[in-house]
Amino acid sequence: MKFNWGTGLTIFFIIFVSTLVFVLYQAFQQDNSLVMDNYYEEDIKYQQQYDKIKNTSELTTKVKLDFDSAKGEISLTFPLDSMAITTGIVLVYHPADKSADKKYDFNLNQTNVYQIKLDKMTKGRIKVKIDWERAGVKYYQEEEIII
């Protein structure tokens, strides 16, 4: 068999089309869902979020996050600058898997520690998003841990 231009172009075309089909197949296997379902509404409310972050930066002590891998729990220690009731939401956010996100509501009266059990959490990098309020002032803080 003699190798000529026609044979070379045919082989090139077959390899090119095969590669293109493989890349398209791999692209359709990826999960490209949005990080948030209500992305645009969250973007519009960002000034409120910015104000919460500013309030947090003005605190003398911030929320302290401790992760105990042996017990499988996260402890959040809130500052004791006043005896007011602390309420809020803790979102355990998995950047890689939206279905593994967990949301916890809390209401602390005299204690300043809130604990979260991570029994069935997906392993990997997670962000703990703390959105809390005390004495009418709203705060927001994010911490990152690896399970």
**CATH number of the domain encompassing residue 130:** 2.60.40.10
Q: Report the number of distinct structural domains present in the chain.
A: 2
Q: Which domain holds residue 13?
A: 1-30
Q: Quick one: average pLDDT of 126-147?
A: 91
Is the domain of 59 the same as that of 130? yes
**Residue 63: which of 138, 132, 136, 145 has the closest Cα?**
132
pLDDT > 90 in the chain, percent: 37
Is the domain of 71 the same as that of 108? yes
Is the domain of 75 the same as that of 115? yes
Is the domain of 68 the same as that of 26? no
Is the domain of 7 the same as that of 61? no
Residue 32's pLDDT is what?
A: 67
Mean pLDDT, all residues of the chain: 86
The DSSP element (H or E) to which 32 belongs, if any, is none
Model confidence over 6-22: pLDDT tens digits? 899 999 999 999 999 99
Is the domain of 48 the same as that of 114? yes
Other Cβ atoms closer than 10 A to 89: 13
Is the domain of 131 the same as that of 66? yes
Model confidence over 52-94: pLDDT tens digits? 999 999 988 889 999 888 888 889 998 877 677 889 999 988 8
> Between vectors from CA 16 to CA 15 and to CA 22, what angle results, nearest 5°?
85
Model confidence over 106-116: pLDDT tens digits? 988 777 888 88
Is the domain of 11 the same as that of 58? no
Is the domain of 17 the same as that of 87? no
Residue 9's pLDDT is what?
A: 94
